[in-house]
Chain A
Amino acid sequence: MKMLEIKNLHASVGDKEILRGINLTINAGEVHAIMGPNGAGKSTLSNVLAGRDGYTITQGEVLYKGENLLELAAEERAQRGVFLAFQYPVEIPGVSNIYLLKAALNAVRKYQGLDELDAIDFLSLVRSKLDLVKMDEQFLHRGVNEGFSGGEKKRNEILQMALLEPSLAILDETDSGLDIDALKTVSEGVNGLRSADRSIVMITHYQRLLDYIEPDFVHVLSDGKIVKTGDKELAKELEKTGYSWVQQGQAE
């Protein structure tokens, strides 16, 4: 089954075109890595897919499970199973983590035509997910990401993902700012969520994340386009040679 089809996607911020014709198909169960130098358009791609305001789509289309994704509001995408793990998770004092998790889960369940979980079922579900990312229960009662370390914030993102069980998860620079232990924990969490009916897109600058979460495909994004596609060996090559050859290759 095709999870995501991006066809000739062009997107601008103001007058500046950032995405300049992206083509990418992701099937259910696949893990794709999108790598590229700073400024290539990696974060723009993840924001456009998640539905953040401020981007103008000038050409192309995106189909998610065959449906026109770009017509949907951010919350409609989330309810249908699109999940973005943020590069810089926001801190929201005053909204407790558990309240957020419950509101998010119930929004998704409501779309699926399911009843809200009662407090007891909800708590036992959340507890089982906490184990996956090795988080202490006390984090549930703190404000969303309030005073969390970088690693705790990223684990909290994966906790939300584990609870919402998305069909398409986009991990935006999930490895950034993580020490090696936190990277392992987060990666184990993500690996635990790999399944035949879930696709994962990892957006990353560095190869090291791919040592822990092994992708099926690696794409190189440069100057708003995918310029090369390969398997995990491509990532290793990039690690050795850097991105300059990609940019040169493009110029030729």
Chain B
Amino acid sequence: MKQITELATPFASISSDETFFGDDLPWLKSLRLKARTQFNNAGLPAKKEEDWKYTSLRPFARQQFNHGAKTQPLSVEQCNDYALLDDAYRFVIIDGVFSAELSKIDGLQAGLIIRPLSEAVDLIQPHLGQQVELTKPGFTALNTMMMSEGMAVTVDSNVKIEKTIELLVINSGESANLATHLRHVIVLADNSEATIIEHYLGLNADSSFTNTVTEVILAESAQLKHYKLQQESSKAFHIATLAAKQAAKSQWTTNSISLGAKLARNDVHTQLLGEQSHVVMDGLYLVDNDQHVDFHTRIDHTVANTTSDELYKGILNGNSHGVFNGKVMVHKDAQKTDANQQNHNLLLSRGCEIDTKPEMEIYADDVKCGHGSTVGQINADHLFFLRSRGLDEVSARSLLTYAFTADVLDRIDSELIRTALANVVEQRLPKPSI
């Protein structure tokens, strides 16, 4: 237990009389208290826990983080530059604080609500904390006890939201070692549709800690396209849980692109709770230098006739370290499950490391499940072919590296979003070492 206590250090000083939004609501206050108890008892996960075997929190535990934020005021023009999309609803959080001035959530389409979490407690009460276990991982408990803001989105039945919603979370670096605990809740009612981008950005190279939990609730026949782009600074710690519950015939497409952070840990989880629900769970990680990225995904097929399609790809350079652990659980009543899971990795340097562990646990007997994982380097025949057509070696390697990401990006059906994300990825391609 000593190790765990030691790892809890960064947040040991949080006093129990600190106040949060919703403290006047008994249910929320008691949720936070419960989380506090959980967190104080268990602390942060240690490496001896299977889920954290390849990701050490020691560099994190050595850091001190602050909660009082001085925010950096940004101009609308700056914000336009940072945002991924121009023509979108925009919800801006800077240094943990919602910015009404920079957000574009006026004149919303009928049937759509976008609000800061702190002003939407009534709206999300039935859903908050229902998608995640408070105790695991420890960061979720920490998030529940500390959550200070976030984006709440609800879409009414039979409403199709035309514009994309971009959640832009900016760390300005104005407050050193700033910790932010954000909770986003996305609720799509029956037969509704929406597209949401979570976009995390660091404006300078300082250390920070972003701890987010996104809860997604999809009612029957709801369709959510969800993209996450994380491009925080190379000293940032980014810990995120993304968890969904899907009713019958709902469709969730999620694609997480992780480019930044010193340490990025993403837990992505969905529960397919109704028949004919479908999930596409994709991701792309590009890391260099001493970056560490860890994706833990889990898909629970709990009833018959559900489908999942998962494709994660990683490019590693320098002394970076990647972890992919994907679990597909086919529960005993989940007959006719169709599940496919793939993880492919491209290593560009001798110093990088990938630990990939695709897992399937199948308790039903009439299912179609496949998974695979590969680790490879730039193909010498491909490289020679491109050079024989006049491309210099650096360009040829870059092209092949970019090409490796193509099938993940091609699965994004909106051309606007695909192009925007592809541009970001292209700019952040690790410079190949020759």
Within 8 A of B (CB), among A99-122: 99-100, 103-104, 107-108, 111
A-chain residues with CB within 8 Å of residue B405 when the two chains form the complex: 94
Give the interface of B toward A (CB within 8 A).
379-382, 384-393, 395-396, 399-400, 402-407
B-chain residues with CB within 8 Å of residue A93 when the two chains form the complex: 403, 406-407
A75-B381 Cα distance, complex, nearest whole Å: 14
| Stretch binding the partner chain, chosen from A20-28, A35-43, A50-58 | A50-58
| Stretch binding the partner chain, chosen from A2-10, A78-86, A205-213 | A78-86
Q: B431 to nearest A CB, angstroms?
A: 18
Q: Which listed residue (A53, A89, A90, A107) contacts B390, Cβ 8 A?
A: A107
Contact present for B386 and A100 (CB under 8 Å): yes
Contact present for A107 and B407 (CB under 8 Å): no
Tell me the nearest residue of chain A to B410, going by C-beta.
A94
A173-B404 Cα distance, complex, nearest whole Å: 29
Tell me the nearest residue of chain B to A108, going by C-beta.
B390
Q: A71 to nearest B CB, angstroms?
A: 15
Contact present for A79 and B390 (CB under 8 Å): yes
Assign chain A's interface to a size class.
20 to 34
Known A-B contacts A93-B403, A95-B403, A107-B392; the reply to A51 vs B385 at CB < 8 A is no
Contact present for A53 and B384 (CB under 8 Å): yes
Q: B396 to nearest A CB, angstroms?
A: 8
A94-B408 Cα distance, complex, nearest whole Å: 10
A-chain residues with CB within 8 Å of residue B399 when the two chains form the complex: 95, 99, 103
Q: Does A74 sit at the interface, judged by CB under 8 A?
A: yes
B-chain residues with CB within 8 Å of residue A95 when the two chains form the complex: 399-400, 403, 406
Q: Does A187 sit at the interface, judged by CB under 8 A?
A: no
A-chain residues with CB within 8 Å of residue B390 when the two chains form the complex: 75, 78-79, 103-104, 107-108, 111, 164
B-chain residues with CB within 8 Å of residue A143 when the two chains form the complex: 403, 406
A108-B392 Cα distance, complex, nearest whole Å: 11
Contact present for B395 and A103 (CB under 8 Å): yes
Tell me the nearest residue of chain B to A109, going by C-beta.
B390
A17-B335 Cα distance, complex, nearest whole Å: 61
4 residue pairs, one from A and one from B, having the closest CB atoms: A94-B403, A94-B406, A107-B390, A104-B389
Contact present for B406 and A51 (CB under 8 Å): no
A78-B405 Cα distance, complex, nearest whole Å: 27
Contact present for A51 and B387 (CB under 8 Å): yes
Q: A150 to nearest B CB, angstroms?
A: 17
A-chain residues with CB within 8 Å of residue B393 when the two chains form the complex: 73, 75
Q: Does A92 sit at the interface, judged by CB under 8 A?
A: yes
